[in-house]
């Protein structure tokens, strides 16, 4: 369900960026599906191009996981070409594009936190030993 919402949002963003010309023709369209849940969807028109592939695979605990990957491109109002790549699977969705903001680098870990993490790693908690100490 999350994958469907994600893909719908991507298409909505592409339409919003293109100006929503309600009479714009679809110049080419391909939609192929198979009984196993795989599909290929590609279309273009009004300066928008969309291509995506979907498939189903076995996930953890015998669940069915849908994987969708694709790309879309359009011309922004300022004339620049926008191209976005995406994938959605059991690990969530990931989107890439030169026009997207990049997160700043993570700040350096304070020394006192680094020391505390090393101490905790060197002294793992043993619940059974702690219970024996408590009830002896």
pLDDT at 17 over 90: no
For residue 133, is pLDDT > 70? yes
Report DSSP letters for 25-56, one per residue: PP-EEEEEE-TTS-EEEEEEETTEEEEEEEEE
Query: Taking the complete model, does pTM exceed 0.85, yes or no?
Result: no
Could you tell me which residue, 10 or 107, shows the higher pLDDT? Answer: 107
Q: Could you report the per-residue pLDDT of 53-100, keeping only the tens digit for each?
A: 999 888 878 888 899 999 999 999 999 999 999 999 988 999 999 999
With pLDDT > 70 as the criterion, what percentage of the chain qualifies?
Answer: 84
* Local confidence band at 14 (pLDDT 50, 70, 90 cut-offs): low
Report which DSSP code applies to 68. E
8-state DSSP, 72: E
Distance CA 103, CA 96 (A): 12
DSSP state of 61: G
What CA–CA distances, in Å, run from 107 to 18, 110, 119?
38, 9, 21
Question: What is d(CA 42, CA 99) in angstroms, rounded to the nearest whole number?
Answer: 22
What is the number of other CB atoms lying within 10 angstroms of the CB of residue 52? Answer: 20
pLDDT of residue 35 exceeding 70, the answer is yes
Paired tokens of 127? 């619940």
Give the residue-averaged pLDDT of 5-23. 55
């Amino acid at each position: 369900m999350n994958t469907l919402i994600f893909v719908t949002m991507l298409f909505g963003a592409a339409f919003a960026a293109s100006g929503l010309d309600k009479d714009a023709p679809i110049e080419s369209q391909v939609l192929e599906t198979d009984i196993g849940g795989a599909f290929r969807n590609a279309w273009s028109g009004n300066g928008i191009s969309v291509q995506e592939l979907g498939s189903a695979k076995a996930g953890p605990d015998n669940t069915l996981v849908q994987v969708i990957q694709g790309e879309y491109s359009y011309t922004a109002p300022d004339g620049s070409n926008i191209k976005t790549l995406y994938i959605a699977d059991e690990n969530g969705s990931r989107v890439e594009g030169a026009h997207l903001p990049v997160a700043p680098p993570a700040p350096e870990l304070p020394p006192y936190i680094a020391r505390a993490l090393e101490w905790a790693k060197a002294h793992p908690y043993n619940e059974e030993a702690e219970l024996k100490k408590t009830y002896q």
